[in-house]
Amino acid sequence: MLTREDTIAAIATPYGVGGIGIIRVSGPYSEKICQALFKPASASGPLKNRYLYHGDIISPETGTIIDEVLIAVMKGPHSYTGEDTLEIYCHGGFLVLRAVLSEVIKLGARLAEPGEFTRRAYLNDRLDLSQAEAVTDLITARTDRGRALALAGLKGTLSKELQSIRSVLIDILACLESSIDFTEEDISSVSCRNLSEDVDNVLARINAILSTYKEGKLFRDGLDVVITGKPNVGKSSLMNRLLGEKRAIVTPIPGTTRDFIEETINIQGIPVKITDTAGVRNSTETIEKEGIAFVWEKVMAADIVIILIDGSTCLGEEDVEVVDRNKERKTVLVVNKSDLPPRITDAELADLMPGVKPLRISAKYGSGISELRERIFSLASDDERFTESDVVLTNLRHKISLEKSAEALTAAKDNISLGSSPELSAFDIRDALHYLGDIAGETMSEDVLDRIFSNFCIGK
């Protein structure tokens, strides 16, 4: 079990060579470690809180200089973790960072567990649990919209809305409990006559938050889009065109693509992973057959499938097979090589995929690519308009807790409407408050906390 009584340390920047590398220290020995290791270039006396100093890290054992650094001491509770913290800004080489961290460990710190700095911030009431989870979302965000939503979560936009909802529910619960304790005075008929309406309003607010989950999940987790079709229809050319760079090899030789090529693009704020796959055809070549088998597995796991056909040739059996295998999936039927004389009619395309509007493009020259991006976005969003609010649900754990809270409130509303004993409604309201508290981490077990923070990187 982790304890907050010791001092932890870790390299807080990614491994590799860079201009600056940061070592973070948090706990009661932070200032003593600083005093033992750091020799200021010009300052004398105790280091001031929240000031940046220039000097050297010196080994207490040998007296040798390890690195020239900048250093800052931040006294708790006004620090990221809420504890005394030390940050050492070294030159960004792994050997330098490892040498400095080794000296920090020798002076009494221990290596931090994944996410332990943020966990301490949560335990010291610097962040609630939903804000802590937003930290890792911010680090891993792949688009500006995803970054903005994560930052809003870190700043507490969701927390503030849920706290407002909890405040209303506490008032409702107080009214119900008053009617339990003072039934003879008939308090419920005077001050609590609109309880059903109040619960209904809270339900509407929770459902409004829940309705944003699909949007939040898209911006957080992104979308998997697979390009499939028979050989030489232009899959790799389309991949390169969507990326805006030459990433996949393009040749007129069938079977050039043997393995998956995956890259991520940004479509209106949604991170979209595009996968180029091997051409689908009947082949006797062992490696190609294996690649085609993997294609079908990849297609089945995709959120959207781009079925690409060559509009400059007649439809073939392989085209029909690809379409037949994807009729139950979200698909975009794309007819490539619109820069060449067409050999496939609109009527043939309508028969091939009834109800699906085909899109004619030229991967070689770029025509129709912006329309393809729009089509992908429309399928991802089901043509719904996304909210401009920062209160957007991105976390499945939060969604489940809100759904449970809504169920409890629905039961409370039904009991109030039926004129049931106020004890029953009060019980339901307490349940709703409990589930809302789960989101902020007010009712969270150590096992769940371990699981949440184990997904963080070391040093955060």
Write out the DSSP string of 421-451: -HHHHHHHHHHHHHHHHHHHTTT--HHHHHH
Domain-ending residue, one of 83, 108, 126? 126
| pLDDT tens-place string over residues 180-222 | 765 555 444 434 558 888 999 999 999 999 999 999 999 999 9
Residue 211's identity, in one-letter code, is S
Do 243 and 338 reside in the same domain of the chain?
yes
Do 315 and 285 reside in the same domain of the chain?
yes
Residue with tokens 């995929």: 353
Residue 440 to residues 115, 207, 291, 368: CA-CA distances in angstroms?
Answer: 17, 18, 46, 46
Do 368 and 242 reside in the same domain of the chain?
yes
| pLDDT tens-place string over residues 284-343 | 565 556 667 777 888 888 999 999 999 999 998 888 988 888 888 899 999 999 999 999
What value does the mean pLDDT take over residues 346-375? 92
| Upstream peptide bond of 14 is cis (omega within 30 degrees of 0) | no
Report the distance separating Cα 22 and Cα 107, nearest Å: 18
Nearest to 394 by CA among 119, 165, 139, 146: 146
224 assigned to some structural domain: yes
458 assigned to some structural domain: no
Do 16 and 137 reside in the same domain of the chain?
no
Could you tell me which residues come within 8 angstroms of residue 418 by beta carbon, excluding any fewer than 6 positions away?
A: none
386 assigned to some structural domain: no
Q: Is 80 exceeded by the pLDDT of residue 251?
A: no
**Mean of per-residue pLDDT scores for the chain:** 87
451 assigned to some structural domain: no
Nearest to 239 by CA among 275, 279, 281, 288: 275
What number of other Cβ atoms are within 10 A of residue 286's Cβ? 8
Do 371 and 229 reside in the same domain of the chain?
yes
Q: Which residues pair with 304 in a beta bridge?
A: 225
Within 156-267, strands assigned E span: 223-228, 261-267
Q: Contact, 361 vs 370, CB < 8 A?
A: no
452 assigned to some structural domain: no
Do 228 and 366 reside in the same domain of the chain?
yes
Residue 416 to residues 277, 318, 403, 404: CA-CA distances in angstroms?
Answer: 58, 62, 20, 19
CA 155 to centroid of chain Cα atoms = 16
Do 121 and 146 reside in the same domain of the chain?
no
The sign of the dihedral angle between the CA atoms of 312, 314, 318, 324 is positive
Do 166 and 231 reside in the same domain of the chain?
no
CATH of residue 299's domain is 3.40.50.300
| pLDDT tens-place string over residues 373-412 | 999 999 998 777 777 778 899 999 999 999 999 999 999 9
Nearest to 242 by CA among 374, 331, 382, 341: 374
The sign of the dihedral angle between the CA atoms of 115, 121, 125, 129 is negative
212 assigned to some structural domain: no
Residue 459 binned pLDDT confidence (cut-offs 50, 70, 90): confident
Number of domains in the chain: 3
Enter the pTM of the model.
0.81
What value does the mean pLDDT take over residues 349-363? 91
Q: Is 50 exceeded by the pLDDT of residue 124?
A: yes
388 assigned to some structural domain: no
Report the distance separating Cα 188 and Cα 198, nearest Å: 14
Do 13 and 57 reside in the same domain of the chain?
yes
Do 137 and 171 reside in the same domain of the chain?
yes
Lowest mean pLDDT among 39-48, 128-137, 146-155, 311-320: 39-48
Do 247 and 345 reside in the same domain of the chain?
yes
Rg (CA), the chain: 29
Q: How many alpha carbons fall within 13 Å on the CB side of residue 234?
A: 26
Q: Is 70 exceeded by the pLDDT of residue 112?
A: yes
| pLDDT tens-place string over residues 269-283 | 899 999 988 777 665
Do 356 and 239 reside in the same domain of the chain?
yes
- DSSP for 42-92? S--SSPPTT-EEEEEEE-TTT--EEEEEEEEEE-TTSSSSSS-EEEEEEEE
Range of the domain at 171: 133-193+396-440
Report the distance separating Cα 196 and Cα 207, nearest Å: 16
CATH of residue 147's domain is 1.20.120.430
CA 135 to centroid of chain Cα atoms = 10
CATH of residue 55's domain is 3.30.1360.120
